[in-house]
Amino acid sequence: MRHQDNDLWIARQSTRARARLRLFCLPYAGGGARIYRTWADALPDDVEVCAVQLPGRDQRHNETPITDASKLIDALSVVLCPYLDMPYALFGHSMGAVLAYELARRLGAAYDREPSGLFVSAHGAPHLPRRRPPSHHLPDDEFIARMKALNGTPAEVFANPELLALLLPMLRADFKLVETYAELPGPVLTCPVLAIGGRSDSDVPPTSLEGWATVTRGPFKSMLFEGDHFFINSERETLLRVLKHYLSADYGGGS
């Protein structure tokens, strides 16, 4: 894959010459790299934040979204390969959590480069059954109601029919990816895993987070924040303080 193609996939707020660790951030369904645009300001100066921009959104809105997790991991593993010249960690929220997990295993198996840490947010362990029936195939009104219930899409999107019509195909594609995902073949990890969730998230109860303990032979911890499925927005400052601790050189991130 050509370097300019990689630039479509990876958004960096700034390149840090003295970086010792890269943090790759994977978005939730319907989200883009802009979710993480201010994270670098709150994290250690020697951590380079690399937000993953998937096809079908923002500046890639003219591209067809990828609805198959295996195909997306195939593509992402090639894209990230040139960035593995230093230690790295992976963060993913909701849909991004399973993508981060599968990437951690794929990069470890293909390049012998497991992450220094894996942060999985707002998603149950990959081997657990889904708590809700699929919704990506529902009529528009029912599908929109499902999105509203998750409380992650700005109200102005629902108030703008033209904008909503533009976003619906991408949202359906992401929901299809999540709802048809099944854990891919791959090794058990050895890196530390931190599973985090919202106390009021009815889709991801604490027991679902604890299930992530089985994906690694390394250290595991789970943690709850105030808020619902999108505590990543409402509890942003608290979340970033926790990540700063885990990614700090004193703690051992990137060592």
In Å, the largest CA–CA distance within the chain is: 51
Handedness of CA 118, 35, 64, 8 (dihedral sign): negative
Please work out, in degrees rounded to the nearest 5, the angle formed at the alpha carbon of residue 197 by the alpha carbons of 58 and 37.
Answer: 30
If one counts every other C-beta atom within 10 angstroms of the C-beta of residue 218, the result is: 14
3-state DSSP helix/strand/coil % of the chain, to nearest 5: 45, 15, 40
Q: Known catalytic residues?
A: 94
Q: Which residues pair with 11 in a beta bridge?
A: 51
| CA-based nearest residue to 88, from 37, 49, 40, 33 | 49
**Using the 8-state DSSP alphabet, how is residue 82 labeled?**
G
Distance CA 193, CA 62 (A): 35
Distance CA 61, CA 115 (A): 30
Strand order of the β-sheet with 220-225 is 10-12, 47-52, 21-26, 88-93, 117-121, 193-198, 220-225
Q: How far is CA 227 from CA 118, 158, 197, 231, 239, in A?
A: 22, 22, 9, 5, 11
